[in-house]
Structures are given as structure tokens and as C-alpha cells.
Amino acid sequence: MGTNRKRSTRWDLMPRRRFLTGAAVAAGAATLSGLPEIVRAGQAPAYPKGTKLHLLTRINFIPAGDTLFIQQAEEFGKQMGVEVQIERIGENDITTRSTAAIVAQNGPDIIMMQNNFPHLLANGCADVSDVAEAIGKEQGAYWDLSRANAFVGKQWLAVPYGVLSNTMNYREDWLKEAGFSKFPDTYEELRVVGKKLKSMGHPVGQCFGHSVNDPNSWCYPFMWAYGGFEVEKDGKKVAIDKKGTLEAIKLNTAMWKDCFDEGGLSWDDASNNRAFLAGSISVTNNGASIYFVGKEKFPDVAKAMNHAPNPRGPAGRFYHMATHSSAVMKYSKNQKLAKEFIRWYMDKKQYEPWFVAMSSYMIPPTKVWFDHPAWTKDPKLTPFRDSIKDARHLGYAGPPSAKASEALAKYIIVDMFAKAIQGTSPEESLAWANGQLKQIYGA
Amino acid sequence: MVEPRSGLGAAFARLRSASATERREWRFAFVLLLPAMIMIGTFVAYPFVRGIWLSLSDTVVGSEGQFVGLHNFEKLWNDSIFRRAAQNTVFYTAAATILKLAVGMVVALMLNNLMGFKRILRASMLLPWIVPTVLSTLAWKWMLDPTFSIVNWVLFQLGLIRFRVDWLGGPVMALWSVILVNVWRGTPFFAITLLAGLQTISPEVYEAASIDGANAWQRFWTVTWPLLMPVTMVVMLFSVIQTFADFQLVYILTGGGPANSTHLLATYAYQIGVATGKLGEGAAGSLAMFPVLFLIVLFQLWYIRRTDSGSPKRGA
Amino acid sequence: MAMVAGGRWKRWVCLYLPLGAFVVITLFPFYYMAVTSVRPDREMYIPWNRANFAPFWTLKPTLEHFAYLFRETLFVRWLLNTMIISTLSTAISLFCGLLAAYALARLRFPMGGTLGTSIFVTYLVPQTLLFIPLGEVIRNFHLGDSLWALILTYPTFLIPFCTWLMMGYFRTIPKELEECAQIDGATRIQAMIRIVFPVAMPGILSAAIFAFTHAWNEFIYALVFLSSATQKTVPVGVVSELVRGDTFFWGPLMAGALLGSIPVAFIYSFFVENYVSAMTGAVKG
């Protein structure tokens, strides 16, 4: 980690805090904020031998990020004299494991939760306000979305870890071939461009199956861009039945016929990556993972592609982003150690090299990173950074809540679009989603 | 299970009038049954009762809920996704079972006619049935992948299709694809078991039928089918139980999508319970399967027993 | 049975060809698993409608996917876990099922029929209903995060099955066999263990194979009850650690599926005849 510390001098906003004296060390474990210094001083608080800390996270799409994270965990373990176990599993199984662990009151000490699951699993998560606020204070406040998904009631039930941004991935070469110099700015324009591209044998690809990320990242923003949203400010009155929502569904269905690859109904999060890299689609909504894998394995595709912001609709430009945050589980017997670990890996000294290794695949949860040089080193990646400003939380315009995650988990919004694609009339699809949301929010 | 059912009262009456030998036999039976009873009592009966309680409560993950009566069931009844999943489950079970029976029967008859290779064919044919469902289903997922589908390629090369088939995309196609994978997996069990049944039918019966002038088709319906009936009912019984509560196949292949076209009761109940944390509602969704399954199985058991006592007994 | 009489060609059309087609379809996914597991990535991700799509073979086979499996995952550990869990849960189920089946099939006692039926009915309780309460039971017994969580819960669906299968088998064994032994001075227990069980060996074996594959196949409980990376079973390990959301994983995935299937297939190949005969015995019982 030493190399990175040197590199980041220009950008180093945080004053180094070296106020800890020997006397403060004992108290340091309780105040938490001082921990990295304790560790650096080599005066780690003693944990019983054989103490194990178990962290569950999803398998990262950028392997380099995971490799570094595991190294960091090992280092932490060494310094604290404990064993840190990092378990990585597929993202679709994280919820299952979290629920099961809470029921069984046994399992990982820290779970990296997606989206607003801290709301859904609020009863199982310990209060981590001290850690979350310390980091927020240090790193220039959290983005609204990160806060919305991890702050429940009056406390932080998870410490925001990062935001996964999806924007438009497209093939510059084919776009030029089709006679367009830049990526379309609105959904209407995208339809025109996509139609041309499809006629050339390069359709737009988008998945509408039951999968955690990509279908949601397309459908929610589309609905929002046309003025539709799930629920009113009070979080109770369902508001989806609007002209705007209907327009979005209609346009999406029309685009399906005009410009989409018809395989998309059964795609999952990985299918569009494969199709894009295999050269069978020209445009898709995705994270930066296509680009990264491309650079490594399909250099021609990586060279020919670029990223652009999500299209705009009459109501604006929006993003649904998957947030990740570290929750300390209430049943854990190592809560203190768990918090210290989170505090350690969220500290700039650990987080920065990780962020760089992830090459802007994940947006840090705090604002201080916005001007980090990693964002502009490769201009193709800059659109990801800017997207966070237009991010909206699930269950907008209501407050973030477990009900919004229920709607997400049941794929109500995605299926509303998918139903219409499958041939149900747009009105009927909307009515269906309206009914489902009423059941969820009305209860 | 041939034991005539007796009411509790009758049982007690017999208990009182039992002789010493009888009592010794009962004690022996009790000891033999004890291990199974302990296991089932601890790991099924208690969780089952607890599951029923959950289904009547508003428990969410991490906190014990309140009793809400039949509210969860009422909610599910009004839930269009649940109704869709219920329809899918019934259709899935019926279509898959009938297809497995038909194909399995044909294959069993063919195998019965085969002279050589029987052993090796029988052994290799069982592979889909014994290999873990999730693993073989993953292979199918890859074979049916919209962009890289080998199935499409083969059909295209054979000139059977001109455009790709979106196996897991369309509302009807997706459910049929899931059914076909289930049929692929389950047919060997039908075929091998039916073959075992066929081999117990003595050739003289057919000869007698042949002499009476029956053709192959008639011989099948008048001789083979009725004689195979007990075996058929047993394989159907197991197939229905497993297909009705099927989970892994859909979980891997489609996750219930697109637009819930392939959601089954098990996958949807699981989704409610696990992905939305509503353990009470999830339990209600799972429990809703039980009575249906119970009735189907009860009917099948009754039917098996009836044909059993109707046909000449073997052995004891 | 001469259903397919007539000439040679008729035998081909009605027998060899359809049977051949059936076998090909049955086995093809396994072949495809094998090909995919040795196909290099560059060759794998070619859309099906391209001219150079050659799905049936590969000219440059690679072992990189297997190498990944062994280097980057705990696959060998998963295999071992699955083996231990399947073997022990099968042993427990056989023990319980064997005794229960003997009692239900051979002894006369009040409520016997009802009991038999109710054991069978437990087979019908959906796993999706049981797994949440079972999680609590496991918590109370402090079995969480150990293989015992599965070893002790798998018998819940294995015992009913074993019991049922062996009841059928016991019924096919003549009662006189035991009666003779008892006349010769053996006790009831001796007669059961020395006379009836050996005769029922094929049935017991087949129940064992059945239970073993059933346990090997299980997914939900294994996904839910085991919480550390070192204690996964093959199906769960492959699904949760090899399906990596956004990237290319079909090579290692198929390699894992292939290797995870081989042990059960291997065991089956020895006992398939046994299984068939026992099934016949059971269904006719």
C-alpha cells in the first residue's frame, strides 16, 4: 500500500491524524476512528487467539479489486492477530444467505449488502452509525443514494461501500458507420439510431429477465425519465399509474421491435456482456465490466467502444444504481472487530488503492473522490462518475423503505416492461404493476 | 400400508385386550420405529408445525411476528403473480408428467425389444436422472443461451428453423423449455422403471393375445398397459411429488422470469420468503402447495392399493 | 414380445433409429459439458449464427478451466464435503428406514397403517416451507456452519423414501423364512438381522444408492444452512462461486458441473442392475 500513499499526495484531502497517545490506544478501540493509527503503531488491541472474522461479499466483476481486497484483509488480520475470512459468492445468492443467517443467528460477521437491503433486513443489522459518520465526516459526506440505502430510521445499519453505475455502452465504429457522430441524447433519438443499427445487423441489447442488476438499471430510469414513479412522497399512495409511465412502456415496446436483440427477455446480467464482446450487439446498458474484460481479452472491442450517459426523457435523465454497503450482523459475536475492519478498509489508505484497482468500476460512496485523477485518466470511463449525480433511490418519491426493496425483489417494474414486450397491452401491463405495487405499499 | 385403517378408539380397545405376545410385538415395533420417529419428529414435524404458525403470522426476517389468521393466504389469493405461479405449477406438473410417461413408455418398450446393448444403454440412459439437477440445468442454460445456443445452430443447420428460437424468452416458449428440461431429466427414471415392470410380464400372455388376433397396438392396450398399471402409478406418484415442488430447475434456468412466465409455487414462495424477507407470506406460499400435493398423492396411493388388492398377490 | 416384427428396415425405423436419437439427446448435454470445459474462451464466445461457430469440437483444447477450478476455488473440498454429507446422511437414513420399514411391513400393531402413511406424507412437505424453521432448529442445536447441519437434515426427506422402498421389498420376502428360523430357536431380532436383512440386501442397496444421489443432488438446504466457503457442497459451490455475474465463466462452470457429476455416475454404474431389480421388487410389493 506504500506506493499508493506516495502517489496520492496532490489529492490528499485528509489531514493525517497522529494524536493518539499510548493512553488513547486503549480507548481507541472504542472510539474506532483512531483505529488505523493503532494498527500502524503496531499496538493492536488484543483479540483472543483464534478469533475469526467472516465477511460475505459478492464476486467482483473486476478480479483485480477482489485480489487487492483479500490482501488487505490478510494484512488487517495479521496486524490484529485474527483470521479474516473473505467469502465471495454470486450476487444473486447474497440475499438468501443474509436471510438464512439472520434466521439461524449464525453466519458471516459482515455482509456486503446490495441496494436497500439494510432496510429489508433492518432487524438483523447492528447500528454502525459511529463508523459510517466518521467516514462520512472524513471524506466529504455521502452521496444521497448511498445514504438512502444504508441509513434506516435514525441510524446507519450499514456502512456504504460503493455504488455500481450502469451507463450506456456502445460501439463507436458501428455508430459512425450508421452515420451518427455521437451517442443519442434522448430515448426517442436512441430509437432512431437503434433502428438503423439493427438494420445493419447490430441490434441494441438489453435484458429483461429476472436478474439483479441490468434489467433494473434500464427499466427504472426509463420510467423515471418519462415522469413515472412508484409512490408519492408519503411512501403510501401508489403513483405509478401516470401517462408518463405508459409512454415509457409504449416506447420501450416499440424499441424492442425496432432496435433490440430479441434474445433479451431471457438474458441475465452476464448475457449482454457476452453478446457485446462477441460482437452481436452494438449498444447496451451496463457497468464498466464489458470494457475491462474487453481490454484484457477482446482488445478490438475495447478499442471500438465507448460509454455515454443514459438517455434523457421529458422529465430528465436518471440512473438506478446498485449500491453496496457493509452491514455488521446483530448476531455476530465479533461486532467490535467487524466495525474496526470496516473502518480500516474504508479508510482512505486502503480504499484508494482499491478504488484505483477497480478502475472506476465502482463509484465511492463519498463525495471526496469525485475529483480523483483515476476518473479522468481514461476519458472513456468518465461518464460513470457523472452518473451518480442523477441517481435516484428505489421507491422514489417516497422515503427509502423495505417496501421498495420488495418491489425490486419481485421485479415489478422490470416485469411491467417485459409483459408489454411479450405482447400484453401497455395499459394492462401498467395496471398489473399498479395492482402489485398497491399490494406492496398498501399493506 | 395394507393394514386396514382403524380409529383411535378401536386401537385403544385392542390395546386393552392384547395378549402378552401381542404386547411384545408392539414393543418391538415401537423400538424399531423409534429412530425414524425421532429424526422425523425433530426435523420435520416440529418445523412443519412451526411453518404453519409462520404462515399464519406476519413474521419478517429478524423479528417474531403477530398472529394474523389467514391474512397471508388471502393476500396470496389476490396476488396475480401467485395465481400465475399456481397455474404454471399445475401445467408444468401435468405436461411434464404426461410427456415423461409417454416417452418413457415408448423407450421402455423399445428397450424391451432390443437384443444386445441393453445393459450399457440402461446404465448410460440414467445419467440425466442421477446427475445433480443444478449442474445439468446449467448445461441446458448454456445450450439454450440466446446468443450462443447450440440447439439453435443444430436446428438451423438441419433447416428446421430460419430464425433463432428464443427458448427462454417468450411467455409460452419459456415454460415449455423448462418443461422439456424436466422431461429430459425425468424420462430415464420412467423408462428404466417401466422396463423393469415390463420384464416381469411373462411372454405367454402376449402369445395368448397374439393367437386371439390382436395387433401390436391392441396388445399394448389390452395386455401391457393394464399389467403395467401398478408400476406406472408408482413412478407417476414420485414424479408428481418431485415435479410439483420443483425448485432448482427454474431457479437456475430463469429465476421465474421473464415476466413471471416460468415462476412455480416453490420458486415464488422462496422469492417472497427470502428475497423480500417476508417469512410469513413465504411460508404461506409454500404451505399452499401441500394440500394440493396431499390430495393428488392420496388419490394415487388409494389407486395403487386398489389395483394391488385387485391383482393376484405375489410373494407373501 | 414381438411388437416389432417384420423386416430388417422396419426394425431400424421403429427401434434402432428412435432409440439412437433418444440416447443422443439424453447424453448430449454431458458431451457438451465436456467440450465446453476444454474450449478456450476466445472460441467459446462466438455467436451461433457466425460462420466460424463450431460447437461440436475444439481444435485447441485447453485445461485452463480445470486449472482455474482447482487453483481459484475449493472444488476438491466441496467434493469431499458432498461425499461426507451424502455418505453419512445415507447411512443414518438407511438405519432408521430399515428398522421402520421392517416394523411397518412385518409386525402387526395398532395404527401401523396410519403410521406408514404419515411417514410417507412427510416426504410431501415442501422444502421451501421447512428451511426457515429448520434454520431455527439448527440454531438451537448449535449445528450452524457445520456439515452436521446437512447430515442431520437430509434424512428428513431420505427416511420416508428409504422406508417406503424397503417396505415394498420386505413384503416380497416370504414370511415362512422367518418363521422357520424362529422355530429353529432364533429370537425375533436374530431372525430379522440374520435372515431377513441379508435376503433384502438388493433392496437395501438400491435404497442406499437412491438416498445417496438424492443427497448429492440437494440444493436449498445446502445453500441456506452452510455459511462458510470451506463447507459448501458441489452444487452450491458451483452455482454460488462460479456463476460470476458479469464475466465469462462458462468454461470453469462446465468443468465443475462435469467433475461434480462423475462420482455419482461412477457409483451408479456399478449398481444399476441392482437398482432396477430392487425397483421391480418395490413396485410390485
Structure confidence at residue A45 (pLDDT) = 59
**Percent of chain A residues past pLDDT 70, beyond the cut:** 89
Give the closest-approach CA distance of A413 to chain B in angstroms: 10
**pLDDT beyond 90 at A415:** yes
Half-sphere exposure (Cβ direction) of A282: Cα atoms closer than 13 Å:
24
Pairs of residues, one from chain A and one from chain B, whose beta carbons lie less than 8 Å apart: 132
DSSP assignment of A61-124: SSHHHHHHHHHHHHHHHHHHTSEEEEEEE-GGGHHHHHHHHHHHT-S-SEEEEETTHHHHTGGG
Residues 124-183, chain C, touching B (beta carbon < 8 A): 124-130, 132-134, 136-137, 152-153, 155-156, 159-160, 163, 167, 171-175
**In B93-121, which positions are buried (b, 16+ CB within 10 angstroms) versus exposed (e)?**
bebbbebbbebbbbbbbbbbbeeeeeeeb
**pLDDT beyond 70 at A30:** no
* One-letter identity of residue B181: V
Contact residues on chain A for C240, CB-CB shorter than 8 A:
89-90, 93
The answer to whether the Cβ–Cβ distance between B168 and A265 falls below 8 Å is yes
Residues B147-152, mean pLDDT to the nearest whole number? 88
C141 to chain A: nearest residue by CA?
Answer: A104
The answer to whether the Cβ–Cβ distance between B147 and A410 falls below 8 Å is no
- ipTM for this prediction: 0.89
Indicate left, alpha or beta for C35 from its phi (over 0: left) and psi (-120 to 50: alpha): alpha
Give the closest-approach CA distance of C33 to chain B in angstroms: 6
Give the closest-approach CA distance of B259 to chain A in angstroms: 4
Range with lowest mean pLDDT among A49-63, A156-170, A420-434: A49-63
SS (H, E, C) A371-383: HCHHHHHCHHHHH
**pLDDT beyond 60 at B309:** no
User: Which cell numbers hold the place of A122?
Assistant: 433492518
**In C8-43, which positions are buried (b, 16+ CB within 10 angstroms) versus exposed (e)?**
eeeeeebbeeebeebbeebebbbebbebbbbbebeb
The answer to whether the Cβ–Cβ distance between A266 and B255 falls below 8 Å is no
Max CA separation in chain C (angstroms): 80
Predicted TM-score (pTM) of the model is: 0.88
Give the closest-approach CA distance of B121 to chain A in angstroms: 35
**pLDDT beyond 80 at A14:** no
**pLDDT beyond 50 at A12:** no
Structure confidence at residue C224 (pLDDT) = 85
pLDDT class of A25 with cuts at 50, 70, 90: very low
Structure confidence at residue B157 (pLDDT) = 87
pLDDT class of B170 with cuts at 50, 70, 90: confident
Contact residues on chain C for B187, CB-CB shorter than 8 A:
26
The answer to whether the Cβ–Cβ distance between B124 and C213 falls below 8 Å is no
B44 to chain C: nearest residue by CA?
Answer: C156
Give the closest-approach CA distance of B126 to chain A in angstroms: 29
Give the pLDDT confidence of B199-249 residue by residue, as tens digits.
888 888 877 877 777 788 888 888 889 888 888 888 898 889 889 989 999
The answer to whether the Cβ–Cβ distance between B61 and A330 falls below 8 Å is no
Structure confidence at residue C269 (pLDDT) = 77
Q: Does A335 touch chain B (CB under 8 A)?
A: no
Phi–psi pair at C121, nearest 5 degrees: -65, -30
Alpha-carbon separation of residue B216 from A344, B191, B206 (angstroms): 78, 19, 10
A54 to chain C: nearest residue by CA?
Answer: C228
B256 to chain A: nearest residue by CA?
Answer: A210
**pLDDT beyond 50 at A21:** no
The answer to whether the Cβ–Cβ distance between A279 and C228 falls below 8 Å is no
Structure confidence at residue A243 (pLDDT) = 95
Ranges in chain C, pLDDT < 50: 1-4, 284-285
Residues A61-83, mean pLDDT to the nearest whole number? 90
A122 to chain B: nearest residue by CA?
Answer: B62
Which one of B78, B147, B257 has the shortest CB-CB distance to A280? B147
The answer to whether the Cβ–Cβ distance between B142 and C153 falls below 8 Å is no
Contact residues on chain C for A165, CB-CB shorter than 8 A:
none
DSSP assignment of A244-300: HHHHHHHHHHHHHHHHB-GGGGG--TTHHHHHHHTTS-SEEEE-THHHHHHHHH-HH
Mean pLDDT estimate for chain A: 87
Residues 68-107, chain A, touching B (beta carbon < 8 A): 92, 95-96, 99-100, 102-103
Which one of B79, B170, B277 has the shortest CB-CB distance to A121? B277
User: Which cell numbers hold the place of C51?
Assistant: 460462420
Q: Does C239 touch chain B (CB under 8 A)?
A: yes
- With an 8 Å Cβ cutoff, the interface of chain B facing chain A consists of 60-63, 75, 78-81, 144-148, 164, 166-171, 174, 254-261, 271-279
Structure confidence at residue C186 (pLDDT) = 78
Give the pLDDT confidence of A141-151 residue by residue, as tens digits.
999 999 999 99
Range with lowest mean pLDDT among A287-301, B33-47, C230-244, C260-274: C260-274
Contact residues on chain C for B294, CB-CB shorter than 8 A:
121, 124
pLDDT class of B313 with cuts at 50, 70, 90: very low
CA geometry: angle B102, B108, B110, nearest 5 deg: 105
* One-letter identity of residue C240: S
Mean pLDDT estimate for chain B: 86
pLDDT class of A17 with cuts at 50, 70, 90: very low
Structure confidence at residue A303 (pLDDT) = 95
Phi–psi pair at A164, nearest 5 degrees: -95, 115
Which one of C46, C47, C245 has the shortest CB-CB distance to A59? C245
Alpha-carbon separation of residue C213 from B193, B253, C225, C275 (angstroms): 17, 21, 19, 12
Give the closest-approach CA distance of C186 to chain A in angstroms: 49
Structure confidence at residue B99 (pLDDT) = 97
Give the pLDDT confidence of B237-285 residue by residue, as tens digits.
888 988 998 999 999 999 887 889 999 999 999 999 888 889 999 999 9
C50 to chain A: nearest residue by CA?
Answer: A280
The answer to whether the Cβ–Cβ distance between A270 and C144 falls below 8 Å is no
